[in-house]
Amino acid sequence: MPVSDSVDLESGSDVGSEDTPDGLPINELFHSLQGEGTLAGVPSVFVRTSGCNLRCWFCDSYHTSWEPTHAWLDLEEIVAEIEAYDADHVVLTGGEPLLHEESVALLEELDDRGYHTTVETNGTIYRDAPIDLASISPKLESSTPTPERDPTGDGEWAERHENDRIDRETLARLVEDYDCQLKFVVTDGDDMPEIHELLADLRAAADAPIRDDDVLLMPEGATRQRLAETRTRVAELAMEHGFRYTPRLHVDLWNDAPET
């Protein structure tokens, strides 16, 4: 289901508020291969919600954050769309899907039907839900939309993003309560000290182990051209620091096409 089927434009602060309709704001719902993380290559149904509480300058889902577009679908419609595809895995992604309380109800419906669910989250919001894999992507300082990097050119999100991008308490709860992977978007080697510092803090705070195998470095880049500039260096950093490297298969295969 492409965005163009039914589109509403919302400001990021409105999506997920108490005044929004029942159901979820769906930006895309499609069948593809999981492109990132430990399940890369697995055929999956992707449910992409609209709306995000952060604004990474390199966001590869621009129409869920900077300029949110979506169709409001109730849970029955969403589940029916998912069941129309031949896949056992469902990826709930965004935007930030855990902004929406109704995401919990969707995950419960999917759990009842025996689906394996991955939730892709920035790690700033906790929800009590049946999640098989929490794919947590803490946002590093290099993600902040400083005035020179802000795609809108006005720089109004820089301070808010920087203040909200890391919530150590929430990250620790997610690590404790769910099978998880910590997936960091890396721009260059300057990101590594921050990653190590955050991991040390989480290992001290969380009552659950965080193995180096649970830490994935992913190259920044939403196009093949940009990935060609970043992936080799990020792969070298993964080997150097003892972490895992994750590709972005969907970008390699389909570049920046929607519904991939």
Q: Residue 195: inside a domain, yes or no?
A: no
Least confident of 9-18, 110-119, 134-143, 219-228: 9-18
Q: Residue 30: inside a domain, yes or no?
A: yes
Q: Residue 68: inside a domain, yes or no?
A: yes
CATH number, domain with residue 145: 3.20.20
Q: Whole-model pTM?
A: 0.93
Please say if the pLDDT value at position 7 is more than 70: no
Distance CA 49, CA 54 (A): 14
Domain span holding position 152: 3-184
Q: What is the pLDDT of residue 154?
A: 87
Q: Residue 220: inside a domain, yes or no?
A: no
> Mean pLDDT, the chain, as a whole number?
93
If one counts the domains in the chain, the total is 1
Distance CA 181, CA 210 (A): 9
Distance CA 122, CA 124 (A): 6
Instruction: Give the contacts of 159 (CB within 8 A, at least 6 positions apart).
Output: none
Tokens (6 digits) for 257: 């096409």
Q: Residue 51: inside a domain, yes or no?
A: yes
Could you tell me if 254 and 35 are in contact, meaning their C-beta atoms sit under 8 angstroms apart?
Answer: no
Q: Residue 161: inside a domain, yes or no?
A: yes
Q: Residue 166: inside a domain, yes or no?
A: yes
Q: What is the pLDDT of residue 155?
A: 87
Distance CA 238, CA 223 (A): 21
Q: What is the pLDDT of residue 8?
A: 45
pLDDT digits (tens, 9 = 90+) for 117-161: 999 999 999 999 999 999 999 999 999 999 999 999 888 999 999
Q: Residue 71: inside a domain, yes or no?
A: yes
pLDDT digits (tens, 9 = 90+) for 183-201: 999 999 999 999 999 999 9
Instruction: Give the contacts of 228 (CB within 8 A, at least 6 positions apart).
Output: 221
**Residue 223 gets which letter from DSSP?**
S
Q: What is the pLDDT of residue 6?
A: 43
